[in-house]
């Protein structure tokens, strides 16, 4: 005897969703599959899905060339499809994170909703002191975003550039 319990469960699930919910789900699936709105009667609400945004923060000693880390972070963000809302570069050396204006600007972009993450090349660009790094990460999380280090393995090993 063949059981059609699966068919019964699927029918029950469909019955609980409203027509608008089903259309919204289909629109999201179509957008995820690369079908542009209007191409398959995708509602306009699915077209409102925004790209994730980040701000790149780089810090180094005075006269440091940050072109390499900037390029690496840009390529990293593009690989994930993140929109870069800005690049903040500081050349203040070993100042603690609280003494850096650029880091404060990056956190403000999170608070304002302009970006959802602060992306940096190495953990040491935030701080080589674990407590200071954790404090900055908590501040960014409280603002509604997150701190992302592109190459934390290289930073953890102490490889300097």
Sheet arrangement for strand 117-120: 83-90, 53-59, 117-120, 146-149
| pLDDT for the residue 119 | 97
- Which of 122, 116, 56, 52 is closest to 81 using CA atoms? 52
Q: How confident is the model at residue 45 (pLDDT cuts 50, 70, 90)?
A: low
Structure tokens at 131: 């407590």
Structure tokens at 73: 């972070």
Count other Cβ atoms within 10 Å, centred on residue 96.
13
Q: Quick: pLDDT tens for 50-76.
A: 889 999 999 999 989 999 999 999 999
Q: Quick: pLDDT tens for 4-44.
A: 554 444 445 445 667 677 777 777 777 777 776 665 554 55
């Amino acid at each position: 005897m063949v059981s059609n319990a699966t068919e019964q469960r699927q029918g029950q699930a469909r019955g609980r969703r409203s027509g608008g919910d089903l259309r919204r789900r289909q629109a999201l699936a179509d957008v995820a599959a690369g079908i542009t709105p209007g191409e398959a009667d995708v509602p306009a609400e699915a077209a409102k899905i925004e790209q994730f945004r980040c701000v790149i923060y780089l810090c180094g000693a005075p006269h440091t060339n940050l072109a390499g880390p900037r390029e690496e972070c840009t390529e990293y963000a593009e690989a994930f499809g993140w929109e870069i809302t800005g690049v903040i570069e500081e050349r203040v050396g070993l100042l603690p994170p609280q003494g850096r204006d650029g880091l404060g600007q990056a956190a403000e972009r999170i608070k304002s909703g302009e970006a959802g993450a602060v992306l940096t090349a190495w953990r040491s660009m935030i701080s080589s002191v674990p407590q200071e790094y954790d404090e900055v990460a908590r501040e960014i999380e409280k603002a509604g975003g997150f701190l992302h280090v592109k190459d934390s393995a290289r930073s953890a090993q102490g490889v300097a550039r």
